[in-house]
C-alpha cells in the first residue's frame, strides 16, 4: 500500500499565489508517489462568519482550482470536509485528549483572536479539527505552507498522546514544506504573510487575477530605499519578489544572482509580473473550461467523498473501540 498524503484549504476568500506555491503545487507533485486526499475544509472556514450562498459557491470554486492546478481526480480524492461526518466525530474524541494549554500556545489562535472582540470556541478548537482531518486518513505526509508548521507539531503531539493512552492507533505525520515559497509575504507589507483574509487591493495576487491586475499589483509592491537589487543588503520586499520568481521559475540561487544582481526595481517588478502571468495563464484557462461544465464538480466531490468516507469511518471505528465507546449490535 502506498503511504498517504492529506492536506486542506479553506473555501474562504480568493486563493492566492502563496497558497499555490506553499501548498497546492506540492499537492500536485505528491500524487506521483502517494495515495492523496485533498480536503476543502468548509468546517474550518465557518470559524469566521461566511455568507452561506457565498460559501457554497466558494466550495465549488476551490474544487475547480484544485483540478485546474493539476490534481487528477482519477488518482486523488477531492472532497468537502463537512461531507464526511467522521471529521467532526474524531475531532471530539481528540478534543478530550488535548490539554487546553497546548491550544493556548497556538500563534494563529492568538493572532486571530486578537483581531476580534468576542472569540468563538471554533477558533480555539480549530487545530484539533485539523488534527482529525489528518489522522483520519493515517496520513504520513502533510504538504502545507510554513504558517501551518505549529499546527502540524500539535497534530503529532495529539497523535502521540492518543497512541500512548489507548495503544497504537494513528500514524504520526510529517510536515512537507517547499524549499522555496513556504512563506510568501504580502506585497503591500512584506512583514506580514500573504493571506486570503487580508483586506486591501495591493496585498495579494489571486490565482484568478487577470494579467492587467497582476501587473498593477506587482508594480505597486513595497520594496525599499535602494534603487537596484543587491543580494547582500536587500530588504524583505525585494526578497519576497525574488522568492516569487524563483519559486515559479524553479531557479537555483546562482541563476537568481546572475539574472537579478544590479537590476533596477522597476525592471525587477516587470520581470516577476511576466513570470507570474505566464505561469498562471494555463491554470486560469483550465479553470474556466472546468466551470463551464455543469454538474462536473459535484460529480468529482461525490466520488471524492465515496473514496474518503470508508477510510475515515474505519479509523473512527478503531478509535472508538480503543477508547471503549459503545459498540452497537450493528457494528460488532
Binding site for ligand LTN (CB under 6 A): 6-8, 10, 41, 44, 130, 133-134, 142, 144, 148, 151
Q: Which residue, 271 or 307, is less far from ligand LTN as judged by CB?
A: 307
Q: Which of the residues 74, 110, 112, 216 is marked catalytic?
A: 112
Q: Give the range of 7-15, 49-57, 129-137, 312-320 binding ligand ATP by CB under 6 A.
A: 7-15
> Binding of ligand ATP at residue 183 (CB under 6 A)?
yes
Question: Closest distance between ligand ATP and the C-beta of residue 203, in Å?
Answer: 10
> Binding of ligand ATP at residue 23 (CB under 6 A)?
yes
Question: Closest distance between ligand LTN and the C-beta of residue 17, in Å?
Answer: 15
Q: Which does 196 bind (CB under 5 to 8 A by kind): ligand ATP, ligand LTN, none?
A: ligand ATP
> Binding of ligand ATP at residue 22 (CB under 6 A)?
yes
Residue 257 to residue 167: CA distance in whole angstroms: 52
How many amino acids of this chain bind ligand ATP (CB under 6 A)?
A: 21
Residue 255 to residue 27: CA distance in whole angstroms: 26
Q: Which residue, 62 or 316, is less far from ligand ATP as judged by CB?
A: 62
C-alpha cell belonging to residue 12:
474562504
Residue 183 to residue 192: CA distance in whole angstroms: 10
User: Which of 4, 19, 134, 256 forms a contact with ligand ATP (CB under 6 A)?
Assistant: 19
Q: Which of the residues 32, 74, 196, 279 is marked catalytic?
A: 196
Rounded to 10 degrees, what is the CA torsion of 258, 264, 265, 266? Answer: -120
Question: Closest distance between ligand LTN and the C-beta of residue 69, in Å?
Answer: 16
**Residues 14/198, Cβ–Cβ less than 8 Å:** no
Q: Which residue, 177 or 300, is less far from ligand ATP as judged by CB?
A: 177
User: Which of 4, 6, 18, 159 forms a contact with ligand ATP (CB under 6 A)?
Assistant: 18
> Binding of ligand ATP at residue 196 (CB under 6 A)?
yes
Q: Which does 134 bind (CB under 5 to 8 A by kind): ligand LTN, ligand ATP, none?
A: ligand LTN
| 193 is annotated as an active-site residue | yes
> Binding of ligand ATP at residue 147 (CB under 6 A)?
yes
Q: Which residue, 142 or 308, is less far from ligand LTN as judged by CB?
A: 142
Q: Which residue, 238 or 308, is less far from ligand LTN as judged by CB?
A: 308
Q: Which residue, 236 or 320, is less far from ligand ATP as judged by CB?
A: 236
> Binding of ligand ATP at residue 127 (CB under 6 A)?
no
3-state secondary structure the chain: CCCEEEEEECCCCCCEHHHHHHHHHHHHHHCCCCEEEEEECHHHHCCCCCCHHHHHHHHHHHHHHHHHHCCCCCCCEEEEHHHCCHHHHHHHHHHCCCCHHHHHCCHHHHHHHHCCCCCCHHHHHHHHHHHHHHHHCCCCEEECCHHHHHHHHHHHHHHHHHHHHHCCCCCCCEEECCCCCCCCECCCCCCCECCCCCCCCCCCCECCCCHHHHHHHHHCCCCCCCCECCCCCCCHHHHHHHHHHHHHHCCCHHHHHHHHCCCEHHHHHHHHHHHHHHHHHHHHHHHHHHHCCCCHHHHHHHHHHHHHHHHHHHHHHHHHHHHCCCCCHHHC
Footprint on this chain of ligand ATP (rule: CB under 6 A): 9-10, 12-13, 18-19, 21-23, 144-145, 147-148, 182-184, 193-197
Residues catalogued as catalytic: 112, 193, 196
Amino acid at each position: 500500500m502506498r503511504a498517504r498524503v492529506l492536506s486542506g484549504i479553506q473555501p474562504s476568500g480568493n486563493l492566492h499565489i502563496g497558497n499555490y506555491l506553499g501548498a497546492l503545487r506540492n499537492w500536485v507533485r505528491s500524487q506521483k508517489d502517494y495515495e492523496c486526499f485533498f480536503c476543502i475544509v468548509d468546517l474550518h472556514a465557518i470559524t469566521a462568519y461566511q455568507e452561506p450562498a457565498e460559501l457554497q459557491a466558494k466550495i465549488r470554486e476551490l474544487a475547480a482550482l484544485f483540478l485546474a492546478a493539476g490534481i487528477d481526480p482519477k488518482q486523488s480524492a477531492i472532497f468537502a470536509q463537512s461531507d464526511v461526518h467522521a471529521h467532526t466525530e474524531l475531532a471530539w474524541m481528540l478534543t478530550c485528549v488535548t490539554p487546553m494549554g497546548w491550544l493556548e500556545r497556538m500563534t494563529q489562535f492568538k493572532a486571530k483572536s486578537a483581531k476580534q472582540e468576542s472569540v468563538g470556541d471554533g477558533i480555539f478548537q480549530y487545530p484539533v479539527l485539523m488534527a482529525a482531518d489528518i489522522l483520519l486518513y493515517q496520513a504520513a505526509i502533510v504538504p502545507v505552507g510554513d504558517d501551518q508548521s505549529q499546527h502540524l507539531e500539535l497534530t503529532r503531539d495529539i497523535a502521540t498522546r492518543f497512541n500512548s493512552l489507548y495503544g497504537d492507533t494513528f500514524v504520526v505525520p510529517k510536515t512537507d514544506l517547499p524549499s522555496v515559497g513556504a512563506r510568501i509575504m504580502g506585497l503591500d507589507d512584506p512583514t506580514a504573510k500573504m493571506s486570503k483574509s487580508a483586506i486591501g487591493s495591493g496585498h495579494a495576487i489571486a490565482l484568478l487575477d487577470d494579467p492587467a491586475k497582476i501587473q498593477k499589483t506587482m508594480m505597486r509592491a513595497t520594496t525599499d530605499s535602494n534603487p537596484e537589487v543587491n543580494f547582500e543588503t536587500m530588504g524583505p520586499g525585494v526578497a519576497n519578489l525574488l522568492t516569487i520568481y524563483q519559486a515559479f521559475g524553479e531557479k537555483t540561487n546562482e541563476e537568481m544572482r546572475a539574472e537579478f544582481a544590479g537590476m533596477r526595481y522597476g525592471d525587477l517588478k516587470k520581470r516577476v509580473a511576466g513570470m507570474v502571468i505566464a505561469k498562471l495563464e494555463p491554470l486560469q484557462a483550465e479553470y474556466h473550461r472546468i466551470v463551464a461544465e455543469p454538474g462536473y464538480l459535484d460529480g468529482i466531490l461525490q466520488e471524492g467523498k465515496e473514496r474518503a468516507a470508508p477510510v475515515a469511518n474505519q479509523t473512527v471505528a478503531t478509535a472508538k473501540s480503543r477508547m471503549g465507546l459503545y459498540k452497537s449490535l450493528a457494528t460488532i
